[in-house]
Amino acid sequence: MKILVTGGTGYIGSHTVVELQSKGFEVIIVDNLSNSSAEIVDKIEKITGIRPVLEVFDLGDREKTADFFKRNSDIMGVIHFAAFKAVGESVEKPLMYYRNNLVSLMNILESMKETGVRNFVFSSSCTVYGQPDKLPVSEKAPIKTAESPYGNTKQISEEIIQDTIKTSDIHGIALRYFNPIGAHETALIGELPLGVPNNLVPFITQTAMGIRDQLKVFGDDYPTPDGTPIRDYIHVVDLAKAHVVAVNRMIQDKMKKAFEVFNLGTGKGYSVLEVIRAFEKSSGRKLNYKIVGRREGDIIQVWADPSFSNKELGWKAEKGLDEMVASAWKWEQAYRTENS
């Protein structure tokens, strides 16, 4: 029951390691710590009582990746999170995104083929749908031209996985996330981007703590009820639990075909201003925010049709927006208190 979690000290990765360990899996993390910290392993151990193994290296290094798989050929499966993920940054630095996100994936798949590791869960994204023609978005929605290099790396990655599956014994599940937010109930792990946050909620919580002077809202002239973009926000713990379900589906040979795709969302869309208001209500803090111009690469609105995932995986997002923002705020306060 040994699982490799790449990017396992990152935001979604660390929450998934906790859920895997709580279900009896033995976890090995590989992470280059480019956007996370090795101290997360201590936090995971505090939550679960089990310390996952951490190996620090870059999966873009073909030799080190191959060596890792040779030493760990008894792995039952791989959950691949290790990728750059900021839409805006990808627009500014496309080559960095293509190199990191695609080369690491190819190195892992090549090593899996060589060592006979069969099960692969891919951290994909609703960005593969671009700006959908129809909402909510089901798994049958067409893959449209990506709005950003980040989104394009997710599309290309899914194609690489499918082509690899055709020529190997590997099985793959792509989990297309909507917008993960929130933190673990212990407030020991949460979303901690290094440098300036690219995602809305860390920017909100850091502004509320006084670390950021002001929250920027990118655009209020979108064709939505309040003019700000709409997203489907999902609690990171609900998301993490879906990965455990996906791994079990593979190990228990319950897959209907060699490559499966599932949307992970709540089925509800909230605007940026609605998230801000929900945070202000739950925290009792007024946020200093300013409307600025649109950000390149952002789409207008998207939310999931999660009915296929609910039925086929027996999984459902449980937590609502108020609980999500409250948990993010609890974590931010705990982290700043500990590190003050």
Residues with a catalytic annotation lie at 150
Q: Cα–Cα distance between 56 and 82 in angstroms, integer?
A: 12
Asked if 265 and 319 touch (Cβ cutoff 8 Å), the reply is no
DSSP 120-163: EEEEEEGGGG-S-SSSSBPTTSPP---SSHHHHHHHHHHHHHHH
* CB contact at 8 A, 16 and 247: no
Coil vs helix vs strand at 50: coil
Judged by phi (left if over 0) then psi (alpha if -120 to 50, else beta), residue 62 lies in alpha
Could you count the other beta carbons within 10 Å of the beta carbon of residue 257? 8
Q: What Rg, from alpha-carbon coordinates, does the chain have? A: 19
Burial of 58 (0-12, 13-18, 19+ CB in 10 A): middle
